[in-house]
């Protein structure tokens, strides 16, 4: 699929540029109390958009950092640097995420982790891959044996429903919970079986579009907390290997929309 190849080219090019700037002085702007954007986010986004426009001028864009947003029609959904805070502090857990949305469906996704040179890809109906090797979700069947991941929205300090209660519940119900700060990588780790499940609140389309397709194509399931169909335009997500999905839903049952 030429679009997937184009997205890979853009993601790897941006990712390698990002990696080259780790540890260097950055111009940082605050979008919120703890929500930052660096000059590298902007450079990466411009590089990706420029690369994709050259080959695929028929598609619009929905991007995190700029006003490059097409509200209707087929488009690329881009997070040029998921895990900006990690990048800014030299914590090696961040990635580039690019998805292609056609007729309201995500049909291709790429997530590239430049620090570990891991390239996750998927085409709808064609399976999911890590560095060209097919991947599958884990086979863990019990929540108390599950290795989970989550994250917190940037405005969690200002909200009553801020995921802290869920974090506590899963700490007690599972084997372990990790919170590393890049949702796209967390989801890809579910896809390849490193994590058994993931949940989070307050995410945006660019956080989830590529990685949710990768989870689904790896045999996983993605829904909202209550089990209803997931949309990249909803604010909560529950992803798992399917075997523990209902157990995770039960743990989240006190969540109210």
Provide the Cα torsion 243, 244, 246, 252; round to 10°. Answer: -160
Report residue 73 CA to chain centroid gap: 22
Q: Does domain 143-251 bear CATH number 3.40.190.80? A: yes
What is the reported pTM? 0.93
What is the pLDDT tens value at each position of the chain, 257 positions in all?
A: 899 999 999 999 999 999 999 988 777 777 656 566 889 999 999 999 999 999 999 999 999 877 566 666 899 999 999 999 999 999 999 999 999 999 999 999 999 999 999 999 999 999 999 999 999 999 999 999 999 999 987 656 666 677 889 999 999 999 999 999 999 999 999 999 999 999 999 899 999 999 999 999 999 999 999 999 999 998 799 999 999 999 999 999 755 44
Please report, for the chain, the start and end positions of each structural domain, with discontinuous segments joined by +. Answer: 2-134, 143-251
The CATH classification number of 2-134 equals: 3.30.540.10
Burial 39-75 (b: 16+ CB within 10 A, else e): ebbbbbbbbbbebbeeebeebebbbbbeebeeeeebb
């Amino acid at each position: 699929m030429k679009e997937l190849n184009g997205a890979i080219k853009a993601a790897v090019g941006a990712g390698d540029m990002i990696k080259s700037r780790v540890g260097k002085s950055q111009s940082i702007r605050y979008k919120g109390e703890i929500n930052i954007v660096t000059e590298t986010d902007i450079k990466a986004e411009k590089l990706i958009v420029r690369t994709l426009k050259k080959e695929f001028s028929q598609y619009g864009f929905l991007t995190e950092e700029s006003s490059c947003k097409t509200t209707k029609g087929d488009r690329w959904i881009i997070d040029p640097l998921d895990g900006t805070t990690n990048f800014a502090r030299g914590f090696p857990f961040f990635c580039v995420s690019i998805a292609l949305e056609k007729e309201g469906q995500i049909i291709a996704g790429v997530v590239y982790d430049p620090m570990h040179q891991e390239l996750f890809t998927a085409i709808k109906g064609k399976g999911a891959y890590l560095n060209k090797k097919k991947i599958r979700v884990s086979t863990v069947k019990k929540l108390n044996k599950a290795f989970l991941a989550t994250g917190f929205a940037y405005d969690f300090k200002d909200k009553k429903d801020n995921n802290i209660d869920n974090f506590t519940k899963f700490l007690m119900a599972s084997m372990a919970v990790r919170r590393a700060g890049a949702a796209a990588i967390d989801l890809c780790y579910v896809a390849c079986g490193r994590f058994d499940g993931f949940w989070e609140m307050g995410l945006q389309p660019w956080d989830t579009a590529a990685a949710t397709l990768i989870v689904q194509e790896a045999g996983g399931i993605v829904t909202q907390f209550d089990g209803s169909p997931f949309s990249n335009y909803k604010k909560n997500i529950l992803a798992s290997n399917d075997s523990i999905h209902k157990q995770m839903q039960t743990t989240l049952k006190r969540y109210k929309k």
